């Protein structure tokens, strides 16, 4: 199979870009059934990038505007800020320009932000991220300060890897199937199997075990292409993160070495505590 690295859709967005599947998924997340006669309108922005690719899914249901994001890499604490920027664009799309200037209050759908995490790092079943955690301290101002927040945005992050939120997964066949697919990919990749083979093995496993069988058989090559692009991005993120960590550790070791030498420590002792070679330490003297 040849991967189309320019593909902008994701397997997640194509799987859940359907009102009935979204009904099943949202019911599972909320823990309550969404009646069949409750309309679900998909309003995903196709021209807005989120986490480097087209946004996954946003939709309205029961007077709620839900932004649904699938996330593989490490969860950023800045997700609320990024989603604040995004939600404004969604409201621009679904509310006519003229309606915003009426004197009478214009009712709008209540926003809800859900992130489904299926990365390879340890993460709790659920975590709540708040925009207010990023606010700077203003207590030092002379003017009166109120603890009442003028702006807040809450993001609910759920871990959908196998072994997490099992009751939720059981209530959505599609979500559970997607969880198995991505978990098998990580399982094969953690066994040092090359990415292309890991994807093929995971897809084959799911088809043979009747997991997302119809979807995978019908869209096999497209699924492979999308997954290949997504996980290549994950590799690039991991490489950059590793390089940053290594640079930070190297800088810390050099700083410790300089301080220890300045206080009279021997080069041998400094080498033992920092891992630097004697030649590297000699350059610092």
Distance in angstroms (rounded) separating the CA atoms of residues 117 and 71: 5
Checking 36-39 for CB contacts under 8 A at 24+ apart, the result is 38/62
Distance in angstroms (rounded) separating the CA atoms of residues 100 and 107: 10
| Per-residue pLDDT tens digits for 134-189 | 988 766 655 555 667 889 999 999 999 999 999 999 999 999 999 999 999 999 99
Distance in angstroms (rounded) separating the CA atoms of residues 186 and 193: 10
pLDDT at 278: 78
| Per-residue pLDDT tens digits for 61-114 | 988 999 888 887 778 888 899 889 888 888 888 888 888 888 899 899 999 999
Per-residue pLDDT for 123 more than 50?
yes
Domain boundaries, the chain: 11-132+152-247
- Tokens at residue 30, please? 């909320």
Q: What is the mean pLDDT of residues 214-234?
A: 83
pLDDT at 69: 85
Angle of the 19-30 helix axis to the 173-190 helix axis, nearest 10: 80
pLDDT at 280: 78
Per-residue pLDDT for 29 more than 80?
yes
Per-residue pLDDT for 230 more than 90?
no
Residue 271 dihedral angles phi and psi, to the nearest 5°: -65, -40
Confidence of residue 26 (pLDDT cuts 50, 70, 90): very high
pLDDT at 238: 53
pLDDT at 283: 80
Write out 94-156 in H/E/C secondary structure: HCCCHHHHCCCCCCCCEEEEEEEECCCCCCCCEEEEEHHHHCCCCCCCCCCCCCCCCCCCEEE
Strands 49-50 and 64-71: unpaired
The DSSP symbol for 45 reads -
pLDDT at 249: 66
Confidence of residue 2 (pLDDT cuts 50, 70, 90): very low
pLDDT at 6: 35
Strands 154-159 and 110-117: parallel
Q: Which residues of 241-264 are buried (b: 16+ CB within 10 A; e: fewer)?
A: eeeeeeeeeeeebbeebeebbeee
Residue 227 dihedral angles phi and psi, to the nearest 5°: -65, -40
| Per-residue pLDDT tens digits for 246-266 | 566 667 777 777 877 777 777
């Amino acid at each position: 199979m040849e991967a189309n690295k320019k593909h902008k859709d994701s397997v997640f967005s194509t799987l859940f870009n359907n009102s009935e599947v979204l009904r099943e998924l949202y019911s599972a997340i909320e823990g309550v059934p969404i009646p069949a006669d409750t309309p679900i309108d998909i309003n995903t922005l196709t021209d807005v990038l989120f986490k480097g690719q087209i946004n996954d899914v946003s939709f309205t249901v029961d007077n709620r505007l839900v932004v649904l994001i699938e996330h593989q890499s490490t969860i950023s604490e800045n997700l609320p800020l990024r989603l604040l920027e995004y939600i404004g664009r969604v409201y621009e799309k679904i509310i006519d320009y003229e309606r915003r200037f009426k004197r009478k209050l214009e009712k709008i759908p209540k926003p809800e932000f859900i992130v489904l995490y299926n990365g390879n790092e340890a993460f709790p079943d659920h975590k709540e991220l708040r925009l207010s955690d990023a606010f700077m301290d203003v207590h030092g101002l002379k003017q009166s300060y109120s603890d009442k927040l003028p702006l807040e945005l809450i993001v609910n992050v759920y871990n959908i890897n196998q072994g997490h939120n099992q009751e939720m997964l059981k209530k959505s066949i599609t979500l559970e199937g997607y969880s198995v697919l991505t978990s098998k990919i990580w399982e094969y990749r953690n066994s040092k199997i090359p990415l292309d083979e890991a994807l093929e093995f995971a897809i084959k496993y799911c088809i043979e075990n009747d997991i997302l069988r119809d979807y995978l058989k019908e869209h096999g090559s497209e699924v492979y292409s999308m997954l290949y692009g997504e996980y290549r991005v994950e590799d690039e993120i991991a490489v950059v993160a590793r390089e940053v960590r290594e640079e930070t550790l190297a800088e810390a070791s050099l700083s410790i070495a300089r301080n220890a030498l300045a206080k009279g420590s021997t080069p041998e002792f400094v080498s033992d505590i920092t891992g630097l070679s004697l030649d590297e330490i000699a350059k610092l003297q």
